[in-house]
Chains A and B, each alone.
Chain A
Amino acid sequence: MDLCVFGVDDGYAEAIIRGLRASFLTEAQYQQMKNCASIPELKSFLEETDYQNCLQADNPQIPTSILRQRLKKKLADEFEYIEAQSTGTLTKYLFHLRCRFMIDNVVNMIEGLKNKIDIEILLSNIDPLGWFPEIKNIKVLEGDDYSSLYRDVLIDTPIGVYFMKFLEESIENLHENRTLNDIQNLFREMKPEYIRTSLKKMWLEDFYVFCEQELMPTSQEVLLELLKFEADFKTIQVIYNSIGNRDLNTAAKIITTRKQLCPTIGNLYPDCEKMYLQAMTLDTLREAVKGCDNYRDLLKDAPDPLKREEFNVQTKTLDDIMYDDECRRYALAFDGQGSYGVFYSYLKLKEQEIRNIIWLAEMISRKLAKNHPGWKKIIIPFSHLGK
């Protein structure tokens, strides 16, 4: 039924997205990009693609960071345009998508400030997709007092909710007779990466609930499926990365941290929860997730996290494997009709494309040999569909 009325409100936005499908670089274009000898050549190649307009003003020897910024700006502009064309639920939905980038931005800012990087540089490096007016006011932050940052600045922002939850949870975990100092210390010691993962987990759960409650059945079907996989991947990642992690020295600590960071949605939760929380080696993790779909296959090729030191560029890391699998799912979702999945997929696939370009730009600027395995480490959106 909802397929009949999908076009009424969201048809135009969907049509634009479908049109933007043509802007994805093709395999042949990637091949050409790989053949570029220098950054100026890569830039002039990109100027013949859809990225033409966003690069024209820059000089040929463009640094990768600026290149990334430009590419992201283009994506943000497109997204903003679609957002402006949307109404009702779609607007809310698109806003939710943005929140992920906002979290990234805020955490990046915090991380940068911690490392005493100048705020102007940080501001110029933020992801335009996750820009919101209050982000400038993070400057107000004094020291490492996240709770005051939240209280003063982030409370009014869209992602304030997640921060509040995060703070509450963190404080709850402290022992009974806590003092203000304890709390401040806690936050001071907290790693930005930890904040990011927990915030994203909250966002994911929140977004899941939103999709479940507000979207029409077709969108729900597509999105919930995607989000479940994403949650599972996140879980696996957390477990995987915590195996052999030196900072978490006791088994009990590992398990509590994992419990905090693993999303409470997805195919693995709650059935396999007990198993994976206990997993201390790659094999036990494989065993834990074997009940679900093709996760076992995914993990089959993953390198052992205990031998982390031996990793190099050639290693196909777990992230690469997962990106590859996600990319396939998003491409499938993109080609589905009448669902909001297409917006989500578009964003994800474009992100992947930007990652690819940046990766290639890095490879080129380092002048690596053409037989270097790194050249193969790009995942081309939609390349799975042809086969």
Chain B
Amino acid sequence: MSLFRSEQMEYYNLVIPRESAWDVMNTLGYFDSVHIIDYDATLPQINRPFSNYVKRCDDVMQKIEQIEAEMRNFKIEKRYCPDVIDLLKKRNGSHKQFEELEQDICKVADDLEHQQQTLTSLQEKKNTIRENLEVLRNAVAFQNEDSEEASLLGFQKMVGVILKEDELRFKRIIFRITKGNIHVEIMDIQEHFIQQDRRSVQKCVFMLFYPCGDLTQKKILRVIDSFSCNKFDIPTSSEQHAQRITMLENQLIEADQLLHLTITQINKRLQDLVEVKYNCSWIEEMRILITKEKYLYMNLNMLNMTNSVFHGQIWLPQGQDQKIQQALRNLHGNDKQLPSGQIQEQQTQLTPPTYYKLNSFTYPFQEIVNTYGIPRYKEINPGLSTIITFPFLVGVMFGDVGHGLLLFVCGLYLTTEDARKSIFSGLVPMRYMILLIGFFACYNGLIYNDFLSIGLNLFGSCYNLVDGEYEIQEDCVYKFGIDPAWGSSANQLTFMNSFKMKLAVIIGVTHMTFGIILKGFNTIHFNNYIDFFCEFIPQFLLLICSFGYMDFLLFLKWCTKFEDTKDAPSVITTMIDMVLRPFDVPEKPLFESGEQQRSIQLLLLTIIAFCIPVMLITKPLIFSLNKKNHPYQQIPSQIPDDDANQEQLQNDMQKDQSQPHSKVSIQQHNEHDDIGELIVHQSIETIEFVLGSVSNTASYLRLWALSLAHSQLAEVFFSMTIASHIGEGGFFGTIGSIIQFPGFALATFGVLMCMDLMECFLHALRLQWVEFQSKFYKADGYMFKAYSFTNIKSNEQDD
């Protein structure tokens, strides 16, 4: 029953003394059934009592993210948490736990940062050594005769390293500043350098030859300085030169070793962090615990704090209060000193949230309904019937045994554990829907007798092939579905079309009638008898007497045996005549006599003609009469009442702003404007229903159209690829069909299993939302949002 109507909700006052706020919230978090109402949704987070805690959680979270980013750099995989609740229960502490965690994480993060800094400084040192080394090595290359000569002539050298990307700018500025009196040599360093920000950059060695002079040197130094590059000295003698190189090489090796050591250290440290303690890596555990802490404080912030006591309003599903009270009483165990939280039931005018207990089977169907709108509190939930009607409607359009089976197998695979880890994990929540669609596609395929566009002769056809003509056997009925002999008949398409068309209309009328009946149940449940008599009854009669009658005619025609098919009356003509020429006796009656048919149809027409005005005017009439009955008594009594209500309403609204969509159930009927509005509303509704019953019925013809499209596509793909080869048989036929098979398989998969399935799904969605739900569904509720630690997910599920 819980899916049929939403759970009964109760409104409670929650009072928590500040000292035990954390513990109470911690306890409530494990119940899956507390909906906390934000006392002032407009209040920014920062002005709430625990905003600094939330902020701290955010800060710690940032630290964790930094650590995790580092892990990704080192390609260390952490283990995700398979069962968050289990972990939380194991690690259940007190509110002081947070501080410990915070310290731990900060320490780890700081340590890591420290090591990082060591690493960067080492890296930098190494870079400098390498630069120096490169300079010296390259300097040898410059040491040719010219340079010897130059130094003899009083030219001086300056060597250093700059970024490769600065090279051109450097050359140009040097040229400008010394008016071309400097010779610049640039040598690229092949191996790239790793910068502080882990970017690898190319650098190059430059060597400047300039004439002696302080002014020039100063200028050059300034330029070099402005490029923030390193300048190195070159030893004068080649002996020293070689010495320096060996020294630097040794230094480089040392630096490399140190670097390597630091990296291993960091790596080890990070490895420690991913070690599994309970059921996941330490870092993941921290992430979950901090998330929980933040979640708890965020929800605690929804309560109003006055004098170190938290007041708040919550919604509970019926029957949960006992459990929660029990848990709160046991909160401090033997220690009676500490006060615990309390809940008290309260009367309220607020609309409760809509709450269904869902499982993985009902989830996708409820999701289809919720996408359209959340059911009003206690309204009949279309989600329940959707479980069968929706896959069935898709199945009607997708009807094919072969394709259905394929889909069914896909659905079966998705229900297995393997599927969660595969690339299809996104489809896993939909698995039961896919399974059911596959099943109903199979079922409808059997009715259409269609297996990848070929008929199956399962029960033995009732037709015998005699001289190329089919002859029917006496008193034989094909057991289930369409006789396969139709598959090879000339009028197969005409026959199937007429059959599917009729089927579509029958399904459609049944579906809509069902919707109207649900409306009837709704009106009874809400004790809205005006709606029951003024809307439900006439609507029901109208549909039954018009299209219900048409369905009846279809069945009647199917059950009647006509000697000559030309004598068979057309249902469409009958229906048109019924409306346009109601008083004529039908020429080709479906009933035993034309007179009988005429009188039945006249009766139905009378009912229809009677229903429309009932829908149109009774409801406004009753309202206006009600008002006129007490024109003077009500007004004085109503005014203070109204004001009080208004105040109450405003108060409620303020409290309730967390759910902007929530409707306050008491509606202030300002009846003066209301009547006019009601008349307009009612006439729109009536016109919509009357026209809708025609257009919606026609809309169900999409069931036929899509199923036709499906079967025709399947046939085309089959006949265009392997059909002729299979017919040919023998060796060449086999080879041919093997060659052609990929084409067939790809077309079947791509066009039919993917595109066509999607199309059928969308059309079924439309039928569900527009044709079915419009009959009864109000969809103006708001969701029950449980304050529950199950909302905390391990990272893996987020991705």
Contact = CB atoms under 8 A, between A and B. Distances in A.
A156 B62 CA distance: 43
A41 interface: yes
A153 B175 CA distance: 11
B794 to A, nearest CB: 24
Interface in B44-78: 44-46, 51, 55, 62
Given A137-B173, A151-B176, A153-B173, A41 B166 contact: no
Interface in A119-161: 133-134, 136-140, 142, 151-153, 155-156
A314 B498 CA distance: 85
Contacts of A245: none
Interface class of chain A by DSSP: helix
B44 A32 contact: yes
Contact of B226 (A45, A139, A142, A155): A139
B173 A136 contact: no
Interface in B160-192: 166, 169, 172-173, 176-177
A140 B226 contact: yes
B749 to A, nearest CB: 35
| Chain A interface residue bracket vs B | 10 to 19
B55 A44 contact: yes
A137 B223 contact: yes
Given A151-B176, A152-B173, A153-B173, A136 B226 contact: yes
Contacts of A140: 173, 177, 219, 222-223, 226
A45 B219 contact: no
B296 to A, nearest CB: 20
B165 to A, nearest CB: 9
Nearest to A157: B169
Interface in B605-648: none
Given A153-B173, A155-B176, A139 B222 contact: yes
Contacts of B46: 41, 44-45, 48
Nearest to A134: B169
A155 B228 CA distance: 21
A140 to B, nearest CB: 5
Contacts, number: 44
Interface in B12-53: 44-46, 51
A56 interface: yes
A115 to B, nearest CB: 19
Given A139-B225, A139-B226, A152 B177 contact: yes
B659 to A, nearest CB: 21
Contacts of A45: 44, 46
Nearest to B220: A140
B499 interface: no
Contacts of A134: 169
A139 B225 CA distance: 8
Contact of B44 (A48, A155, A156): A48
Nearest to A155: B176
B737 to A, nearest CB: 49
A136 B228 contact: yes
B480 interface: no
A156 B177 contact: no
B20 to A, nearest CB: 28
Contacts of B176: 151-153, 155
Nearest to B228: A136
B188 to A, nearest CB: 20
17 contacts: A44-B51, A45-B44, A45-B46, A48-B45, A48-B46, A56-B62, A133-B166, A136-B227, A136-B228, A137-B223, A138-B226, A140-B222, A140-B226, A142-B219, A142-B222, A151-B176, A152-B177
| 9 nearest A-B residue pairs (beta carbon) | A139-B226, A137-B226, A152-B176, A152-B177, A140-B222, A136-B226, A44-B46, A140-B226, A140-B223
Interface of B: 44-46, 51, 55, 62, 166, 169, 172-173, 176-177, 219, 222-223, 225-228
